[in-house]
Amino acid sequence: MFPGFEQIDGVSSSPDLSLVQTALYASGIFALLMMVLTFFAVLSLPIFFGTVFALEALLKLANNVPDPVGKLSKIFGLVFRSLRRNVVRTSLTYVALFVLTGMLSTIYSGVDLIDKITQEKEDNVQVIMTERFGAPSMMPRSYANRLKGILKELPPEAQPRNIDDDFMVWSFVGATLDLNKRTQENALFMLALEPDAIRTMLSYQGLSKDDMSEEAYAELMQSIDAMKKDKRNVIIGPERLELMGKQVGDSVKAYALGYKDVTYDFKIVGSFPAEVSRWSKSALMRLDYFNDTLDGAKTFSGAEVRPVNLIWVRMPNKAAYEALATVVNEPKSFSAPQAKMETASAAIGSFLEGLKSIVFAFKYIIMPAIAVIMCLVVGITITIGVRERRSEMAVMKVLGFLPWQVMGIIIAEAVLIGVMGGLLSTWLVYFAPKSIEAFKAFTGLKFKILFFDKISAPILITVYGPLLGTFVGLIGSALPAISSRKVKVSEVFAQVT
Amino acid sequence: MPLVEVRDLYKSFTRGSETIEVLMDLTLDVEAGEFLALMGPSGSGKTTLLNLLAGLDTPTSGTITVGGERISDYSESELARWRTRNVGFVFQFYNLLPVLTAYENVELPLLLLPLTGAQRRKQVENAMGLVGLSDRMTHRPGQLSGGQCQRVGIARAIVTDPTIIVADEPTGALDSASADAALKLLDILRSELGKTILMVTHDPHAAERAQRIVQLEKGRLAHQNLTLTH
Ligand SMILES: Nc1ncnc2c1ncn2[C@@H]1O[C@H](COP(=O)(O)OP(=O)(O)OP(=O)(O)O)[C@@H](O)[C@H]1O
Ligand SMILES: [Mg+2]
């Protein structure tokens, strides 16, 4: 077994949180969110009533405008009167709608975010092909070309976007500096790669831009560029260099282990950053040099040589990976030895699957449930209001108002509360974190309020909120409005008198 | 030709499988400018008859013609439009909208008519003046006494200048002084404005104001031309 194989193979970015923890965490956030939203809903009550008053005042101005505007404004004025009639009930309804819309828009933002993340993860599926039964995995060089051939036959949308960047052949090479003294100090274990693939590989193996300082990264890039200049050039980790007693710039002669009579003349052109310990004992060489030396060593002619340990491919999405895996996993595609294809990180895959079912539950169960609750809240309030005003509505009908006019007043009342609740709530969720950030930037103050800076809602919710309010108002008031239509004027008075 | 002509009127209500015959074989004429009182025991069908005459309900059979219009054939929305122009309502419990001021309550039926804002204002002011409440325009019903509320109710009934005013026990909830004032108003509406008044009442005092009393018994006319001392 090659040392370091495990380390490199395992794309060890398994998630920190289990699904259970995530669910608990989410419930906690929910409870907190509800409290915060209720707090803000109550705080925003003056804004709500202020707006209602302002609208009413505006409508009053319109009273003197020539008809039909003036007349309609007077009839519509009744809506505001009824809202003001029972301030407590109106407030409670508004607060409920505010909180529910706030929950809905926060969940929507979260779902939107998770959707994007899973999409991203699914958009770039790293897959690796290895030998099915052998450990360590050893495959003939011809497998690389055969796999490339298979990839070319996939439908265009399932092919890797850029085959040079998205396709890597990995060979692990063991060597010693002294054939007669195979000690730890003399050992050199290398990964052979095409120079163009190095950057891609490193970005997935703990040596991306984010893993180190800017200077270290620049230096690493220089080393990679240097490697491209000559096939003998290698990069060796700092700890290994020290064990070998060598430094960057030195030349080194090494003898391959496992391949008789294969020797290498390396030139050390760079090292890995000391701050990333994962690579401090490893080394990189060029695949073409490795292959050339194999070809040069005639010893193996006729014998089956299997120097390829794994082939790495980045597929555009999960469906493409699945299409590829089906072909590769057929025994006839790769028969001697058989090969298997898997995603580089099964852990991430299953975590995302779990996350997806949570998102599904939120999207298709919890969000609709909240919307239904909102409709019920409006429905109950308006039903009570209609009950209370049955005889008033009857009077209006007696005076000659048509059923749809009476109904319109009721629906308008519900829609008005709905729109205001939806608008103020989503605007708060959208604008409050932004204005806090703006305030911080403007004053230069540094502070943190709960998890506010983490909320980044899509701008669309500022439109969806009021729309949802309208919708909820319409649905919620539908039943009571219809029942108001059925108020028979004669019945009401037959009972009263 | 009488203003109101009722011919062979039947009205029944069905409640579940049960059918209640409320008005039976009723024929009645009311002249224009007449003040008519409808009397009779509770449950005899007074309110039912008044509702039919005022276009709030339609008969089971028979016809009602008012001013040449066969309202018994009208649809619900036709009746609504007809009511706005032709009938003023006065209720026992006033039935003012509590959220509106006296002025706005009186203006309410005018919103359904093609009038300008200025015309509306003039008509509301006239009606409020007629009932003697010009100084209470901005009060809400909650801030007015029962008698004042009923006068606002009468103002609302008269504001559209209807031909008929119907009143169901208009004095039922008032003390005798307020009741007198309200009745006096109705009388003035008849004598000075020529309105036809149809009033349901249990109160003989109120009925005294009427020119003619119609007595209902179990859905049939018992006496047509009863007049108390007048
Ligand atoms: N909408 C209705 N549905 C069923 N029955 C009704 C309806 N309206 C009236 N009735 C019935 O018709 C009968 C007459 O009712 P109405 O209200 O006309 O009586 P009324 O003479 O006005 O009595 P009161 O003096 O008590 O007001 C009653 O038995 C009543 O129960
Ligand atoms: Mg009655």
- A145 and A84, same domain (yes or no): no
Chain B residues with CB under 8 Å of A392 CB are 95, 97-98
Chain B residues with CB under 8 Å of A396 CB are 97, 108
- A63 and A137, same domain (yes or no): no
Q: With a cut of 70, say whether residue B25 has pLDDT above it.
A: yes
The pLDDT > 70 percentage for chain A reads 88
Q: What is the mean pLDDT of residues A462-476?
A: 91
Can you give the pTM of this predicted structure? 0.68
Nearest to B179 by CA among B212, B205, B157, B144: B205
The pLDDT > 90 percentage for chain B reads 77
DSSP letters spanning A67-109? TTHHHHHHHHHHHHHHHHHTHHHHHHHHHHHHHHHHHHHHHHH
Asked, for residue A197, whether it belongs to a domain, the answer is yes
d(CA A254, CA A235) in angstroms, rounded, equals 14
Q: Which range, of A58-72, A399-413, B118-132, averages the lowest pLDDT?
A: A58-72
Q: With a cut of 70, say whether residue A495 has pLDDT above it.
A: no
DSSP letters spanning A132-191? SS-SS--B-THHHHHHHHHHHHS-GGGS-S-HHHHEEEEEEEEEES-TT---TTTEEEEE
- A383 and A323, same domain (yes or no): no
pLDDT digits (tens, 9 = 90+) for B99-108: 899 999 999 9
Tell me whether B32 touches chain A (CB under 8 Å): no
The pLDDT, as a whole number, for residue B89 is 93
The Cα of B108 is separated from the nearest Cα of chain A by a number of Å equal to 8
Strands in B61-195 per DSSP E: 61-66, 69-70, 87-90, 164-168
Q: What is the mean pLDDT of residues A350-369?
A: 80
At position B20, the amino acid (one-letter code) is I
To test the contact with chain B by mutation, choose from A82, A84, A389, A395 the residue with the greatest count of B C-beta atoms within 10 A, namely A395
Side-chain half-sphere CA neighbours of A339 within 13 A? 29
- A237 and A97, same domain (yes or no): no
Domain boundaries, chain B: 31-59+75-226
Asked, for residue A51, whether it belongs to a domain, the answer is yes
The Cα of B116 is separated from the nearest Cα of chain A by a number of Å equal to 7
Nearest to A147 by CA among A323, A313, A338, A344: A313
Taking an 8 Å cut-off on Cβ atoms, the answer to whether A82 and B99 are in contact is yes
Q: Which tokens belong to A121?
A: 């993860």
Q: Which residue in B56, B80, B114 is closest to A402 by CB distance?
A: B80
Taking an 8 Å cut-off on Cβ atoms, the answer to whether A81 and B51 are in contact is no
CATH number of B31-59+75-226: 3.40.50.300
The pLDDT, as a whole number, for residue A494 is 57
Q: With a cut of 90, say whether residue B121 has pLDDT above it.
A: yes
The Cα of A407 is separated from the nearest Cα of chain B by a number of Å equal to 14
Distance in Å, CA B2 to ligand 2 centroid: 25
Q: With a cut of 70, say whether residue A197 has pLDDT above it.
A: yes
Chain A residues with CB under 8 Å of B117 CB are 63-64, 66-67, 70
Taking an 8 Å cut-off on Cβ atoms, the answer to whether A392 and B100 are in contact is no
Ligand 1 atom index nearest CA of A495 = 17
- A93 and A137, same domain (yes or no): no
Of the two residues B116 and B224, the one the predictor is more confident about is B116
d(CA B120, CA B110) in angstroms, rounded, equals 7
pLDDT digits (tens, 9 = 90+) for B143-183: 999 999 999 999 999 999 999 999 999 998 889 899 999 99
Band of residue A131 on the pLDDT scale cut at 50, 70, 90: confident
pLDDT digits (tens, 9 = 90+) for A241-252: 888 888 889 898
Taking an 8 Å cut-off on Cβ atoms, the answer to whether A397 and B100 are in contact is no
The pLDDT, as a whole number, for residue A63 is 76
What residue in B sits closest to A494 (Cα-Cα)?
B47
pLDDT digits (tens, 9 = 90+) for A204-245: 777 777 778 888 888 888 988 999 899 999 999 888 888 888
Distance in Å, CA B22 to ligand 2 centroid: 12
d(CA B153, CA B92) in angstroms, rounded, equals 10
Q: Which long-range contacts (CB under 8 A, 24 or more apart) does A151-158 make?
A: A151/A313, A151/A324, A154/A320, A154/A323, A154/A324, A155/A323, A157/A316, A157/A320, A158/A315, A158/A316, A158/A319, A158/A320, A158/A323, A158/A324
The burial of B53, by beta-carbon neighbours within 10 Å (0-12 exposed, 13-18 middle, 19 or more buried), is given as buried
- A203 and A269, same domain (yes or no): yes
Domain that holds residue A403: 19-118+355-494
d(CA A448, CA A58) in angstroms, rounded, equals 40
Chain A residues with CB under 8 Å of B89 CB are 398-399
Last residue of a domain, one of A304, A337, A370: A337
The pLDDT, as a whole number, for residue B127 is 95
Distance in Å, CA B106 to ligand 2 centroid: 24
| Element (DSSP H or E) covering residue B6 | strand B4-15
Tell me whether A61 touches chain B (CB under 8 Å): no
CB A393 within 8 A of CB A406: yes
Instruction: Take atom 26 of ligand 1 and give the residue whose Cα is closest.
Output: B42
Other beta carbons within 10 Å of B138: 10
ipTM: 0.89
Taking an 8 Å cut-off on Cβ atoms, the answer to whether B95 and A391 are in contact is yes
Taking an 8 Å cut-off on Cβ atoms, the answer to whether A494 and B95 are in contact is no
In DSSP terms, B19 is beta-bridged to B14
Q: With a cut of 60, say whether residue A1 has pLDDT above it.
A: no
Q: What is the mean pLDDT of residues A432-454?
A: 72
Taking an 8 Å cut-off on Cβ atoms, the answer to whether B116 and A398 are in contact is no
Distance in Å, CA B41 to ligand 2 centroid: 9
pLDDT digits (tens, 9 = 90+) for A294-330: 877 766 544 447 888 888 888 888 788 888 888 888 8
The pLDDT, as a whole number, for residue A402 is 86
Tell me whether A74 touches chain B (CB under 8 Å): yes
Q: Tokens 């804004």: give the residue.
A: A47
Q: What is the mean pLDDT of residues A353-357?
A: 74
Residues with CB under 5 A from ligand 2 (ion): A 497; B 47
| Element (DSSP H or E) covering residue B150 | helix B146-158
The pLDDT, as a whole number, for residue A11 is 37
d(CA B42, CA B44) in angstroms, rounded, equals 6
Nearest to B5 by CA among B187, B196, B138, B151: B196
Q: Which tokens belong to A252?
A: 């080194």
Instruction: Take atom 18 of ligand 1 and give the residue whose Cα is closest.
Output: B45
In DSSP terms, B20 is beta-bridged to B13
- A383 and A471, same domain (yes or no): yes
- A368 and A319, same domain (yes or no): no
Q: With a cut of 70, say whether residue A64 has pLDDT above it.
A: yes
Tell me whether B72 touches chain A (CB under 8 Å): no
- A332 and A409, same domain (yes or no): no
What are phi and psi for residue A179, nearest 5 degrees?
Answer: -60, -30
| Element (DSSP H or E) covering residue A417 | helix A403-443
- A260 and A161, same domain (yes or no): yes
CA distances from A162 to A148, A156, A157, A194, B129 (A): 12, 12, 12, 15, 90
Ligand with minimal distance to B46 CA: 1
Chain B residues with CB under 8 Å of A393 CB are none
CA distances from A25 to A21, A28, A30, A323, A339 (A): 6, 5, 9, 36, 41
At position B122, the amino acid (one-letter code) is K
Nearest to A231 by CA among A291, A276, A298, A281: A291
Chain A residues with CB under 8 Å of B116 CB are 66-67
Q: What is the mean pLDDT of residues A140-165?
A: 83
Distance in Å, CA B227 to ligand 1 centroid: 25
Q: With a cut of 50, say whether residue A4 has pLDDT above it.
A: no
Asked, for residue A349, whether it belongs to a domain, the answer is no
Asked, for residue A3, whether it belongs to a domain, the answer is no
Distance in Å, CA A483 to ligand 1 centroid: 22
d(CA B22, CA B12) in angstroms, rounded, equals 5
The pLDDT, as a whole number, for residue B85 is 92
The Cα of A457 is separated from the nearest Cα of chain B by a number of Å equal to 41
Helices A19-43 + A346-361 axis angle, to 10? 40
The pLDDT, as a whole number, for residue B63 is 96
Band of residue B191 on the pLDDT scale cut at 50, 70, 90: very high
Chain B residues with CB under 8 Å of A497 CB are 47, 92, 168-169, 172, 200
The Cα of B132 is separated from the nearest Cα of chain A by a number of Å equal to 22
d(CA A431, CA A44) in angstroms, rounded, equals 14
Ligand 1 atom index nearest CA of A494 = 17
The pLDDT > 90 percentage for chain A reads 13
Instruction: Ligand 1 pocket test: pick from B47, B49, B58, B60 the residue with the most ligand atoms within 8 Å of its Cβ.
Output: B47
d(CA A288, CA A192) in angstroms, rounded, equals 8
Taking an 8 Å cut-off on Cβ atoms, the answer to whether B172 and A497 are in contact is yes
- A359 and A218, same domain (yes or no): no
Within 6 A (CB) of ligand 1 lie: A 490-491, 494, 497; B 13, 15, 20, 22, 40, 42-48
Q: Is the dihedral of CA B70, B73, B78, B84 positive or negative?
A: positive
The pLDDT, as a whole number, for residue A491 is 67
Q: What is the mean pLDDT of chain B?
A: 91
Instruction: Ligand 1 pocket test: pick from B9, B11, B13, B199 the residue with the most ligand atoms within 8 Å of its Cβ.
Output: B13
CB contact set of A269 (below 8 Å; sequence gap of 6+): A223, A226, A227, A229, A233, A234, A235, A248, A249
- A160 and A73, same domain (yes or no): no
d(CA A271, CA A44) in angstroms, rounded, equals 60
Task: Tell me B23's DSSP state.
Answer: E
Taking an 8 Å cut-off on Cβ atoms, the answer to whether A494 and B48 are in contact is yes
CB-defined contacts A:B, below 8 A: 81
pLDDT digits (tens, 9 = 90+) for B33-42: 999 999 999 9
Q: With a cut of 70, say whether residue A497 has pLDDT above it.
A: no
To test the contact with chain A by mutation, choose from B95, B138, B140 the residue with the greatest count of A C-beta atoms within 10 A, namely B95
Of the two residues B8 and A309, the one the predictor is more confident about is B8
Total domains, chain A: 2
